Amino acid sequence: MTTIKLHNSKTRKKEVFSPIDPNNVRVYVCGPTVYDRAHLGNARPVVVFDVLNRLLRHTYGEGAVTYVRNFTDVDDKINATARARKEAGAAGSLEDLVQERTEETIDWYLKDMGALGASEPDHMPRATAYIAQMIVMIKDLITKGHAYADGAGHVLFSVKSYEDYGALSGRSVDDMIAGARVEVADNKRDPMDFVLWKPSTDELPGWDSPWGRGRPGWHIECSAMARDLLGASFDIHGGGNDLMFPHHENEIAQSCCTNPDGDFARYWLHNEMLQVEGKKMSKSLGNFFTVRDLLDQGVPGEVIRFVFLQTHYRKPMDWTAKKAADAEATLRKWRALTAGIEPAASAAAAVMDAIGDDLNTAGALAELHKLASAGACADLLASAQALGLLTDEMGDWAAVSQAPDLSTYETQMFEARQSAMENKDFGEVDRLKAAFIAAGLEVRMSKTGVELIPTNGFDASKLEDL
């Protein structure tokens, strides 16, 4: 059995993972708010925790893991999107348009994430299906003195009622007040108190409650869904590190106050953010794009996944066009090597050890390169599939017929280079290199050989006269 070590944000150290019940390993990951297409940064946690899901199932058994990722389908951004559509002349009530938008966006999300090779979780709860559970939890928090109603339709959580608030992010309440943009409202007893329930207008989605018609605050959703599907104590909670405060901090406070004898989540995993060409992704910089944008531009989902896996999940990831081109070239070669071959019975131990070491996907890819170089094709295939690569479902883009045999040209270039090293005349090397580049090949030369890698613009006809 693979030993799994995970960096626990809660303790700030790497720990050997030991599940509460090895026959029922439980994972909860915060999912998207469904108001628009998922941008590239939204996809990173999907791939990260898909790898974790695969690792856990490999280690404990396919039926021994319960993976939950939610959809937030009630939110101000969704309402704003629906209102904009109505103002533009869309038919139907505002509530109908909200429902239409969430259904549409969830469908987009699942298709786009599926294109990246991400398996669907065991449960994908929608917040709107758990309103009753949220109301029960809020009532319990009020009864226990951890929450209060303001008499105007709001219910707020009293942060000072939970003495361990801030333990996850490692900050005191005073520091958080000083460093955060905290909404100061007359109905708050303390600036850090946050909303559990708020009023809703007649035209927007809303539900009856003891505090009037309204809808839940964001944070209570995950606490209620996690408890209902995984229990008061479960193994792993994951998400982007931008959620650590306040969302995850608030989840812990709510859940532990409702279930003081439970652990809520024992291990917390947080992935770092994504950049594009060395800069933060933003619309103002013109480097903001969705997963669908890339797919429509012809970047295969498997290539996007490979680029993600090249960087450890706890490090910032930089998406670049060069990384995508290199990933495509590598995947083409690996698919050519493994074409028609049955995978080994299991992934190589070195690959699984890397993945088990805090999801060291970069280290696992390094091991795959070694297997490819050694010609261990069956092991390469099984090991790549453990990372969600080289699967049959993702291979249409890289049909072997599209991966030409360039070995003759590689030998020609290598021999020309060897001769040039002896006679100091590099004219033939330069001629060949220029021709290869003109044909859309990337030329990589080393002491041991020459590697020619097709790019998107590769045209084999331009090599005919060589």
Residues belonging to the binding site for Zn(2+) are: 30, 222, 247, 251
The binding site comprises 30, 222, 247, 251, 283
Question: Using an 8 Å Cβ cutoff, are 28 and 255 in contact?
Answer: no
Q: In this structure, what token pair is assigned to residue 192?
A: 């850090």
What are the C-alpha distances in Å from 405 to residues 91, 158, 300, 423, 460?
56, 67, 21, 29, 10
Question: Using an 8 Å Cβ cutoff, are 397 and 425 in contact?
Answer: no
Q: In this structure, what token pair is assigned to residue 261?
A: 């004898």
- Of 198, 123, 205, which is closest to residue 155 (Cα–Cα)? 198
What's the chain look like in SS3?
CCCCEEEECCCCEEEECCCCCCCCEEEEECCCECCCCCEHHHHHHHHHHHHHHHHHHHHHCHHHEEEEECEECCCHHHHHHHHHHHHCCCCCCHHHHHHHHHHHHHHHHHHHHHHCCCCCCCECCEHHHHHHHHHHHHHHHHHCCCEEECCCCCEEECHHHCCCCCCCCCCCHHHHHHHCCCCCCCCCCCCCCEEEEEECCCCCCCECCCCCCEEECHHHHHHHHHHHHHCCEEEEEEEEHHHHHHHHHHHHHHHHHHCCCCCEEEEEEEECCEEECCEECCHHHCCCCEHHHHHHCCCCHHHHHHHHHCCCCCCCEEECHHHHHHHHHHHHHHHHHHCCCCCCCCCCHHHHHHHHECCCHHHHHHHHHHHHHHCCHHHHHHHHHHCCCCCHHHCHHHCHHHCCCCHHHHHHHHHHHHHHHHHCCCHHHHHHHHHHHHCCEEEEECCCCEEEEECCCCCHHHHCCC
The binding site for ATP comprises 283
| Cα–Cα dist 52/182, whole Å | 34
| Cα–Cα dist 438/419, whole Å | 23
Q: In this structure, what token pair is assigned to residue 221?
A: 């959703």
Using alpha carbons only, give the angle 348, 349, 354 rounded to the nearest 5 degrees.
105
